Amino acid sequence: MNGFTVKQPGLLTLIQDRGRFGAHNLGLTTSGPLDPLAYDWANRLLGNDADASCLEVSFGGLTLEAEVDTAIAITGARKPCKVNNKEISQWRTNSIKKGDVLELGFAQDGIRAYLAVAGGFDIDASFGSSSTVVREKIGGIHGDKLQAGDFLPCQVNSINSHLKLEEQHQPSYGNQATLRVVKGYQQAAFDNVQQWRFFNSSYQVTERSDRMGFRLEGEVIHSDIVGMLSEGICHGAIQIPADGQPIVLMNDRQTIGGYPKIGSVIHLDTARLSQLAPGSEVRFEAISQEQAHNLHWLEKSRYQRTKPVKA
């Protein structure tokens, strides 16, 4: 059988495709890659379908042994990557031969890297997607993070032209970010003082941040809402629970929630947030829906116009 054997699974390695859509009525979350841009580039460098299954490697420590001749691309967080103890570059196509040992070390800039294989990993869909949601025990191989001994099937694949993304187009993640926010319909529950405090303070990413939501610590914010019924919540929603510390909801969020929301972080910036380590600094900036719309289409245009070059 062709594929890769997991020798060391790393701290948190998950199979992800584009995500699980149209299942909120079943209580199933969207999931998918926390950093869609890095995910997209990993597949694009190999000529894969835009929805191809790949690995999201959080923090690092992954070791795979190849049982197939193929090609890979590794994007996202910068970490030492080796094949048979020889360093290879990220953001480019790399050939892999049967018997090769691939190692991804621990992240040095950013948190999450994406490992794609030519043609994508052959993982059966669960509710329309291969994306793993550990809380719901769906997707992936067994509804859980990778374990030692797991086998990742894929096809024999040869790449005629090796590609790379030039360095000036590669993102730098760092340890701080300004997150742009579209205010929500519950903004009136936060008076002018609370809103000023929220948008003029810095927050730190805590160790209690995960794929469900990033918990932040800093200036306490209060709303006038004492209690509310649970309601549907969108990607990037900023919940303010009773302790006044913001939570930015991410891909594996629950489909409903009962905390007031001051607004939502735009999709471009939740990706930036997902690459920040605990202790990193976050600030918020309010923008209009029109600005958010323009930023979305500008980024989409930039991605389409940026072309990989021969490696």
Averaged over successive runs of 10 residues, the pLDDT of the chain (311 residues) comes to 97 97 91 98 97 97 97 97 98 97 96 98 96 96 96 90 95 96 92 96 97 97 85 94 96 92 97 97 98 97 97 89
Same domain, 180 and 160: no
| pLDDT (0 to 100) of residue 55 | 98
| pLDDT (0 to 100) of residue 157 | 87
Same domain, 207 and 79: no
| pLDDT (0 to 100) of residue 58 | 97
Is this model's pTM higher than 0.75 or not? yes
Structural domain harbouring 259: 176-305
| pLDDT (0 to 100) of residue 159 | 80
Same domain, 206 and 131: no
Same domain, 62 and 197: no
Same domain, 78 and 143: yes
Burial label for 161, CB within 10 Å (0-12, 13-18, 19+), is exposed
Amino acid at 241: P
Among 132, 165, 198, the domain boundary falls at 165
Structure tokens at 170: 């590669």
Q: What is the side-by-side order of every strand in the sheet holding 93-96? A: 12-16, 54-58, 109-117, 70-78, 93-96
Cβ–Cβ < 8 Å for 270, 248? yes
CA 83 and chain centroid, separation:
24
| pLDDT (0 to 100) of residue 107 | 94
| pLDDT (0 to 100) of residue 37 | 97
Same domain, 22 and 71: yes
Instruction: Tell whether 310 is covered by a domain.
Output: no
Same domain, 37 and 145: yes
| pLDDT (0 to 100) of residue 160 | 80
